Amino acid sequence: MSKQITFIDLFAGIGGFHIALHNVGAKCVFASEIDRFSRETYIANFKSISPDLFNKNYFAGDIRNINPFDIPNFDILCAGFPCQPFSQAGYKKGFQDELQNRGNMFFEILKIINIKKPNVIFLENVRHLKKHDEGRTFNIIKKHIESQGYSFHYKVVKASDHGLPQHRPRLFIVGFLKEKFANISFDFPEPEPLVSSMSDIFNGQCMKKIGYTLRVGGRSSGIDDRRNWDTYLVDNKIIRLSVEHAKKMQGFPRNFIFPVSETQAMKQLGNSVAIPAIEATARKIVTYIQTIKNQQIGQINNYEQIF
């Protein structure tokens, strides 16, 4: 029987990756998040699910202060690294973004990859990363990942491709360590039908079947404002998204709690990943890893039988 697959959760936010990977049977052995409010939410929701993270001091803060040698061995590196440098909201500064060195956070991930050499890398960012600086930024990322001995697979995935009623296109990058997965030809999961609409989110008749992509800023701009993303017409009444509505749009479980203000909770949800989209890709990754591990165990067993 193969060992449980493990992962680390970098730039963890409020744990969207954690929930998705946990749902496919993987165990989180290390996490990192710098924002104090997001840390509060993460601790409140995962202390019972992954107690070792907190009992063994494996829930770190600033990734720049992490010694990769202090991270337990793991199978999958997950990271929704800062998207502001590559997004329209962040003016697309990319690697030139000096605000808390956000643009350079990819290279912090690379340090960990270089030392720990996980089986798989699973990264998420805004779709604009692919075209940023006429594709040069994306090519730098691709070049560095491949130079570490990994394959490189990418796709723009929408939350609405995996059942959720918001478009939320995000760039997924997956890389397999070639020395262990030499013959892997990875394909991202096929789109799935919607399982709910905005009418289901509001429990009333909404004019929009698929909602606006959740954002961080610009709340309450008004239903007629072209920048509006959180106000809808439901049963002929103007309704603004609540935390509970946003949770459903991102695929968070009902029992997920926010020990922070409503403003912080909405910000955290706007920064988070769409869980079913992450989970669908994670399930495929885990299947690939388990297949290879089972083959290796079979080879060992055959060797022992021969000798």
What are the pLDDT digits (tens) for 116-154? 999 999 999 999 888 877 888 899 899 999 999 999 999
pLDDT of residue 292: 78
Domain encompassing residue 79: 6-190+274-306
> Which helix or strand (DSSP H or E) is residue 270 part of?
helix 262-271
**What is the signed CA dihedral for 92, 98, 103, 108, rounded to 10 degrees?**
180
Confirm whether 156 is domain-assigned: yes
**Cα angle value 106/112/116 (rounded, 5°):** 145
pLDDT in tens, 36-49: 999 999 999 999 99
**Number of independent structural domains in the chain:** 1
Is residue 230, in this structure, part of any structural domain at all?
no
Give the ranges where 47-177 is alpha helix by DSSP (H). 51-55, 105-116, 136-147
Q: What is the mean pLDDT of residues 161-172?
A: 95
pLDDT at position 295, please?
64
What is the pLDDT averaged over residues 260-280? 96
Using alpha carbons, select from 161, 180, 178, 181 the residue that is nearest to residue 169. 161
- Whether the per-residue pLDDT at 297 is higher than 60: the answer is no
Q: What is the pLDDT, as a whole number, of residue 99?
A: 43
* pLDDT tier for residue 236 given thresholds of 50, 70 and 90: very high
Task: Examine residue 59 and state whether it is found in any structural domain, yes or no.
Answer: yes
- Residues 165/206, Cβ–Cβ less than 8 Å: no
CATH number for the domain harbouring residue 181 = 3.40.50.150
DSSP per position, 17-41 = HHHHHHHTT-EEEEEE---HHHHHH
Span 151-165, pLDDT tens digits:
999 999 999 999 999
For residues 1 and 9, is the Cβ–Cβ distance under 8 A? no
Does the residue 62 lie in any domain?
yes
Whether 241 is covered by a domain: the verdict is no
Comparing 99 with 153, the larger pLDDT belongs to 153
User: Would you say the pTM of this structure is higher than 0.85?
Assistant: yes
Task: Give pLDDT tens digits for 6-21.
Answer: 999 999 999 999 999 9
For 200-231, the DSSP string reads HHHTS-BS-SSBPPP-SS-TT--TTSTT--SE
Contact 18, 271 (CB under 8 A): no
Active site members: 83
108, exposed or middle or buried, with CB in 10 Å at 0-12, 13-18, 19+? buried
Which phi-psi region, left, alpha or beta, contains residue 33 (left: φ > 0; alpha: ψ -120 to 50)?
Answer: beta
Query: Using CA atoms, how far apart are residues 154 and 141, in angstroms rounded to an integer?
Result: 12
Mean pLDDT over 283-292 rounds to 89
Predicted pLDDT at 185: 79
pLDDT classification of 304: cutoffs 50, 70, 90: very low
Is residue 93 domain-resident? yes
Residue 25, domain member (yes or no): yes
